[in-house]
Structure 1
């Protein structure tokens, strides 16, 4: 009887909003490995280098965005955090690219400490009627599988009654692909992480709580929060290339996979053909 009453109470006051956050060459103070210690002028020159931005847009437009547009559960918001100083040509290109995404919006902020910018962005995107927010992180060169949002929503709804409505809950997936880009041909690896990967990782909190998924190193979430990661779903594609900010290593099992073997798995879980990724 006690459980059923708790379930009724949760249903009456629980409204969870799914909100993703992508840092799109945002010039924060801290928060990234590359450029640590740079002054503002050097940071802007590096981030806004036209050749670099062209590479970032190429991956975003061909990999990251199509995966967002293909979500089976489209009831989510996606914040694209940029600097106010991002040149108009790139801001306009981003705005045009995300126009078909129903919950997509650009948030432009001045440079500030990294976590402050993250908190402000999530606050801007959280509707006043939400009781909880499930905030997830995604980089502009990676992809989530087409059922990621729906699966994450289901995880949260089933786990929160156990974990507690008033404390943070971290959810994510540990299995996916690493796509290593090489001049002589891209190579695919199947990965099962043993500690949480940041790609698509989410934290559910009561609305208004300052804690969010960027608060801690994602590898250590289990040390600080109730954490559940799905090791079965083929949930992500992480690209490995020279522009990666952090060292793209797997914490668990990693095995090369041939394109012929991977083709049916890619088609089943992502809006791509294997050939698309091989040529990316």
Structure 2
């Protein structure tokens, strides 16, 4: 069974709806998203936390679409163009402002759906979160174990739910280990290639209304950041698990390719 892993990362996309922070007009949303200080912080989160994992996936057979607007200020638009030109797995879609956010997401994803695939593993990724270096490989391998369940409804969610909540403060990064179901990061929605939906079409907090789901609680698979610019600053429900400080630093390096000192600097800059 041919599975295409296909994700969407929105980088300061100017459009209405789709976010927890509402704005009354496109102009108001643009002024908020394109504030120079905010853009500088978002780029720092993206390049320091989110990007390293995608550049070093153990399974390189995936596509991550970066969605932004055609008027994204420089130098960020040029930086994104250079990034996707150098990385075969990344695509850039410049989507004009749209009132209906899900239609905008579909416009970004649709050109990259492989009609020859049997299943599309859709995922969303925020520009200030991280997935483990083997997320793509694990999603594909774990789906193979439960593909019979997918065949019943031709819809299935696969939730890699063990993660770290990163809180940014003036003293650096602090981490809360959590098992948090359907957080949205490291969550894969498996659909047929002829379906119009993407991962964004399904509210990740209400997935059981639409499809069966499987939770995989090991190994450590994601980092979700919580800071002043977060669309949602809520950690959400979950179960706490324990990790020693020395092991935490090893896991950051081994699982995510990240250095604690870099994350401390990122957190201080964001704070």
Tell me the TM-score normalized by structure 2: 0.91
Query: Who is 1:163 aligned against?
Result: 150
User: What residue number does 2:269 align with?
Assistant: none
Task: Supply the distance in 2 between the matched residues of 1:249 and 1:219 (Cα, whole angstroms).
Answer: 13
How far apart in 1 are the matches of 2:38 and 2:160? 29
The 4+ residue runs of structure 1 with deviation greater than 4 A are 255-258
Give the distance between the partners of 2:2 and 2:241, measured in 1 at CA: 40
Any gaps of 5 or more consecutive residues in structure 2? 267-271
Deviations 1:190-249 (A, max 9, x none): 1111x3110121111111202332122211112321111211110011111000002331
CA distance in 1, matches of 2:101, 2:203: 13
Q: CA deviation at 1:189?
A: 1.2
CA distance in 1, matches of 2:249, 2:23: 43
Give the corresponding residue for 1:243.
229
Partner of 1:6: none
The Cα RMSD (Å) is 1.8
* Partner Cα distance (2:4, 2:53) in 1: 20
State the 1:257 CA deviation: 5.5
Using the TM superposition, give the Cα deviation of residue 164 of structure 1 relative to its aligned residue in structure 2, in angstroms.
0.7
Please state if 1:263 is matched with 2:249.
yes
Q: Corresponding residue for 1:5? A: none
CA deviation vs aligned residue, 1:13-64 (integer Å, no higher than 9, x gap): x322111100111112201011x14211111111111111110000111111
Work out whether residues 22 and 137 of structure 1, in 8 Å CA contact, stay in contact via their aligned partners in 2. Answer: yes
Match of 2:42 among 56, 61, 75: 56
Show structure 1 runs of 5+ residues with no match.
Answer: 1-13
Give the paired residue count. Answer: 265
- Structure 2 CA distance, aligned partners of 1:267 and 1:258? 14
Distance 1:89 1:23 in 2: 17
In structure 2, what is the equivalent of residue 230 of structure 1?
216
SS at 1:265 equivalent: helix
CA distance in 2, matches of 1:52, 1:141: 13
SS at match of 1:92: helix
Which residue number in structure 2 is paired with residue 42 of structure 1? 28
- Contact 1:20–1:138 (8 Å) recurs in 2: yes
1:185 corresponds, among 161, 172, 175, to: 172
**Residue correspondence of structure 1 range 38-117 to structure 2 within 5 A:** 38-112=24-98, 113-117=100-104
Report the 3-state secondary structure (helix = DSSP H, G, I; strand = E; otherwise coil) of the residue aligned with 1:164.
Answer: helix
* 8 Å Cα contact 1:190/1:256 also seen in 2: yes
CA distance in 2, matches of 1:47, 1:62: 19
The higher radius of gyration belongs to: 1
Q: Secondary structure at the match of 1:62?
A: helix
Partner residue of 1:129? Answer: 116
